[in-house]
Amino acid sequence: MARVHIPDENRHIVDVQEIVDFLKPFGIEFENWDVEGRIGSEATNEEILEAYAPEIERLKSTHGFVTADVINVNPDTPGLDEMLAKFDKEHLHTEDEVRFTVRGSGVFHINPEDKGPVFSITVESGDLISVPKGTHHWFNLCGDKTIRCIRLFEDMSGWTPHYMDEATHEGYAPVCMGPSYLEGDQGGEFESPVKL
C-alpha cells in the first residue's frame, strides 16, 4: 500500500483517501487497484496487459494515452544501475508519467517548487500513480531493486528526462521507510526519503 512522506514536516500519510486528497492539489492522480488473484506470479507481459485491460482502456480514453507496456526490473536486469541513474536525479517529462505497480516497490520524490515542501510517494503492488508533465521529480527503487509496472504513453519520446540545473534531489537521501518504521520499529526496512 502506498505511503506519502513529507520529510520537512516529519509527516506520513498512509490512508488511501488521505493520500488522494493530499496529491490532488499537485495534479497527481493516485488509485489503488484490486490485485488479489488477477495474475500469477509468473505472468507474462501480455497476460498482465490482458488482466488489466479494462483499467488500461479507461485511462486511454480519459487521458489520451495510445499505448501501454510492462517494464520488469530486478537485480539481475542488465545495466540496472545505469538505467536507474537516468531517473534518480531531479527531472521532468513532457508528458504525464503513469505507472501501475504490479509487483515490487519504488519511490517517486516530488519537488512541487513553490507549492510546498518536497515529499515522496512509495508505491507498491496495486498502486497507480500519474505524475503530470512538467512536475519536478525523481525516482528510486527500494532495497530489493524489484518492480514490475504497467506504463502508459501518449508518445514514448515524452518520457525523456529533462534534468534540472540545481537539483533538489541532492538534499534528500534515497532511502525508503516501510510499515515497521512508521510503527516505531527503527530497525525496520527503509522505504521513503529523508532529508540530509
DSSP 165: S
- Residue 154's pLDDT is what? 87
- Residue 184's pLDDT is what? 42
- Residue 194's pLDDT is what? 42
CA gap 184, 126 in Å, rounded: 25
Q: Which residue has the higher pLDDT, 72 or 195?
A: 72
Residues 6+ apart with CB under 8 A from 72: 45, 148
Confidence of residue 183 (pLDDT cuts 50, 70, 90): very low
Are the CB atoms for 26 and 115 separated by under 8 Å? yes
| Phi, psi (rounded to 5 degrees) for 5 | -130, 130
3-state helix, strand, coil in the chain (%, to 5): 25, 35, 40
Q: What nine digits make up the cell of 13?
A: 500519510
Give the CATH number of domain 3-195: 2.60.120.10
Residue 186 pLDDT more than 50?
Answer: no
Where exactly are the structural domains of the chain?
A: 3-195
Residue type, 140: N
Beta carbons within 10 angstroms of residue 56's beta carbon: 20
Q: What nine digits make up the cell of 45?
A: 507481459
What does the pLDDT look like over 110-141, one tens digit per residue? 999 877 899 999 999 999 999 999 999 999 99
CA gap 70, 162 in Å, rounded: 23
Q: Which residue has the higher pLDDT, 184 or 139?
A: 139
pTM here is: 0.85
